[in-house]
């Protein structure tokens, strides 16, 4: 077992920072760590939205304290990443007279991904391209840069509990040593990325760590995922499509707890290790949907059972003993309070989610939104 060493980055690259977890993480980390600069590298796919970071840009962008940079780019583009790592790439600010150049990067939190299971069933190729090839390109660029200029560095790969496959109701929760058994193209591509990270630690001694997290919820989540999908549809009195018998079990974690967990692992985790992050909060999908309907005072008659997702994993559950005992991290939010706050957020941010639904989503809407 390697010793835990504290690590304090000064300039952190967040890939996929305009997505759900990325935008929440960047907001949180810039508030909590006043000496830190953050570069958000994002391709702005349908899931990336700079509106989710408008307040961050005001407080920490060029007109604020100057610690937040945005670079519009692709994790599959080696040159862009190499230049960012060296501190030679300019940020993307179309209106500015002069674009700023972020300082050299000394840590990466890699979150950029195609992240929706249903989309991976409809079109797996982009999942392999982004999640596997994109991760490989980042790993290659980091290895090359650290060969060129060795320095203290961390690469944190943000993974998912879905790589472990599915549990029966009486199985023990996943631990970090549970064998990988991904069932969807999404989870298979994430498992591929996890294994590449492992290989780069073993073969190239890249100082990398992997986390695997359960289902996140909270503000700014794209309304194709269960909780915001149900909230936004219920608000418009539209039917709520629920897969199969609605009894699939997921573990839920508030996105801010995930953000704190990621920072804890980056700052104090051991290189080469895997850390499970979860909420110890297992619920059936139907229970989540009923809670949302209660909070919105909408009738359960809105629920429509639809044909089950192909290969639908029955249950996920996370054993977070390692995060608790080694890094003293544990979830702080309760689902009751966190879900009520999330519903409130969607109620008060109607413009945000209506625009997201109208613009990006309609072009590529998921199959399960058609009634069946
Ligand atoms: N949401 C969850 O519940 C959850 C749980 C566990 C792990 N994760 C993992 O956390 C990470 C973030 O998840 P999320 O829910 O915030 O995803 P998201 O879909 O909301 O955001 C993904 C972001 O990545 C960007 N992106 C996609 N392809 C890119 C590319 N080629 N180059 C640069 N940027 C690109 C998108 O524009 C978007 O901003 C993912 O790696 C996901 O697998 C998510």
Q: Which of 262, 274, 270, 278 is nearest to 333 (CA)?
A: 278
Tell me which long-range contacts 30-35 makes (C-beta under 8 A, separation of at least 24): 30/56, 30/59, 30/60, 30/67, 30/68, 32/263, 33/263, 35/10
Q: State how far the Cα of 289 lies from the Cα of 343, in Å rounded to an integer.
A: 12
How far, in Å, is the centroid of ligand 1 from the Cα of 311? 22
Q: Is 313 a catalytic residue?
A: no
Q: What confidence tier does 155 reach under pLDDT thresholds 50, 70, 90? A: very high
Pocket of ligand 1, candidates 14, 21, 196: which has the most ligand atoms within 8 Å of its Cβ, to mutate? Answer: 21
- pLDDT above 50 (res 372): no
Helix (H, G, I), strand (E, B) or coil at 304: strand
The pLDDT of 40-45, averaged and rounded, is: 97
The pLDDT of 25-52, averaged and rounded, is: 97
Q: Is 77 a catalytic residue?
A: no
Neighbours of 269 (CB within 10 A): 26
pLDDT of residue 369: 46
- pLDDT above 70 (res 319): yes
Q: Which atom of ligand 1 is nearest to the CA of 22?
A: 16
Its pTM stands at 0.96
- pLDDT above 50 (res 359): yes
How far, in Å, is the centroid of ligand 1 from the Cα of 219? 15
Q: Which atom of ligand 1 is nearest to the CA of 134?
A: 31
pLDDT of residue 21: 98
Q: How large is the angle between the packed helices 78-86 and 134-148, nearest 10 degrees?
A: 40
pLDDT of residue 358: 83
pLDDT of residue 367: 44
What is the residue whose two structure tokens read 């960012």? 84
**Residue 123: both structure tokens together:** 């079109």
Pocket of ligand 1, candidates 16, 18, 25, 190: which has the most ligand atoms within 8 Å of its Cβ, to mutate? Answer: 16
- Cβ of 75 closer than 6 Å to ligand 1, yes or no, is yes
**Segment 97-119, tens digit of pLDDT:** 678 999 999 999 999 999 999 99
Q: State how far the Cα of 44 lies from the Cα of 18, in Å rounded to an integer.
A: 7
Q: What are phi and psi of 240, to 5 degrees?
A: -100, 105
- Cβ of 16 closer than 6 Å to ligand 1, yes or no, is yes
Ligand 1, atom 15, lies closest to the CA of 20
Stretch (H or E) spanning 54: helix 54-60
Q: Which of 252, 279, 272, 276 is nearest to 262 (CA)?
A: 276
Q: State how far the Cα of 347 lies from the Cα of 166, in Å rounded to an integer.
A: 34
- Cβ of 27 closer than 6 Å to ligand 1, yes or no, is no
Helix (H, G, I), strand (E, B) or coil at 148: helix
Q: What angle is formed at CA 316 by the lines to CA 313 and CA 320, rounded to 5 degrees?
A: 160
The pLDDT of 239-256, averaged and rounded, is: 97
**Segment 67-87, tens digit of pLDDT:** 999 999 999 999 999 999 999
E-only strand ranges, the chain: 11-15, 37-42, 68-72, 107-110, 154-160, 208-213, 215-217, 240-243, 249-254, 274-277, 282-284, 303-306
- Cβ of 74 closer than 6 Å to ligand 1, yes or no, is yes
Q: What confidence tier does 364 reach under pLDDT thresholds 50, 70, 90? A: low
**Segment 195-237, tens digit of pLDDT:** 999 999 999 999 999 999 999 999 999 999 999 999 999 999 9
Ligand 1, atom 13, lies closest to the CA of 21
pLDDT of residue 365: 53
How far, in Å, is the centroid of ligand 1 from the Cα of 93? 22
Ligand 1, atom 43, lies closest to the CA of 115
| Residue 211, strand partner residues | 158, 275
Tell me the CA distances in angstroms from 300 to 180, 224, 238, 286, 341, one per residue in order: 37, 20, 12, 10, 21
Q: Which atom of ligand 1 is nearest to the CA of 112?
A: 24
Q: State how far the Cα of 176 lies from the Cα of 153, in Å rounded to an integer.
A: 23
The pLDDT of 57-76, averaged and rounded, is: 96
Contact 267, 205 (CB under 8 A): no
Q: Which is the CATH superfamily of the domain at 11-218+253-279+311-332?
A: NAD(P)-binding Rossmann-like Domain (3.40.50.720)
Going by C-beta distance under 8 Å and a sequence separation of 6 or more, which residues neighbour residue 140?
78
Q: State how far the Cα of 109 lies from the Cα of 17, in Å rounded to an integer.
A: 9
How far, in Å, is the centroid of ligand 1 from the Cα of 22? 7
- pLDDT above 70 (res 361): no
Pocket of ligand 1, candidates 71, 112, 155, 194: which has the most ligand atoms within 8 Å of its Cβ, to mutate? Answer: 112
Integer-rounded Cα radius of gyration of the chain:
20
Q: Which atom of ligand 1 is nearest to the CA of 17?
A: 39
Catalytic residue among 91, 145, 161, 224: 161
């Amino acid at each position: 077992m390697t010793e835990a060493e504290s690590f304090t980055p000064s300039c952190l690259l967040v890939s996929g920072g305009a997505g759900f977890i990325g935008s929440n993480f960047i907001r949180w980390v810039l508030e909590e760590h006043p000496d830190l600069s953050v570069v958000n590298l994002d391709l702005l796919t349908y899931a990336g939205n700079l509106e989710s970071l408008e307040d961050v840009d005001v407080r920490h962008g060029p007109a604020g304290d100057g610690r937040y940079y945005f670079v519009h780019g692709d994790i599959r583009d080696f040159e862009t990443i190499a230049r960012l790592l060296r501190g030679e790439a300019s940020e993307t600010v179309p209106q500015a007279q002069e674009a700023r150049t972020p300082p050299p990067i000394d840590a990466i939190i890699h979150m950029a991904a195609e992240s929706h299971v249903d989309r991976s069933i409809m079109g797996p190729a982009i999942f392999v391209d982004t999640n596997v090839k994109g991760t490989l390109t980042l790993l290659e660029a980091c290895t090359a840069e650290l060969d060129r200029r060795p320095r203290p560095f961390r690469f944190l790969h943000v993974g998912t509990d879905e790589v472990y496959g599915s549990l029966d109701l009486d199985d023990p929760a996943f631990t970090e040593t549970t064998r990988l058994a991904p069932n969807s193209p999404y989870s298979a591509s994430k498992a591929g990325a996890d294994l590449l990270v492992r290989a780069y630690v073993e073969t190239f001694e890249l100082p990398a760590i992997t986390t695997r997290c359960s289902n996140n919820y909270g503000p700014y989540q794209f309304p194709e995922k269960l909780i915001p999908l149900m909230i936004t549809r219920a608000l418009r009195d539209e039917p709520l499509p629920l897969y199969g018998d609605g009894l699939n079990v997921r573990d839920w974690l508030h996105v801010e707890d995930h953000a704190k967990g990621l920072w804890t692992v980056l700052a104090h985790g051991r290189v080469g290790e895997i850390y499970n992050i979860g909420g110890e909060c297992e619920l059936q999908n139907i229970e989540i949907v009923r809670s949302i309907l209660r909070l919105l005072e909408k009738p359960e008659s809105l629920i429509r059972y639809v044909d089950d997702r192909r290969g639908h994993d029955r249950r996920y559950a996370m054993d977070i003993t390692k995060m608790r005992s080694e890094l003293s991290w544990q979830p702080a939010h309760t689902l009751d309070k966190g879900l009520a706050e999330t519903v409130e957020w969607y109620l008060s941010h109607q413009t945000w989610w209506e625009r997201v639904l109208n613009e990006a989503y309609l072009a590529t809407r998921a199959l399960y939104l058609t009634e069946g």
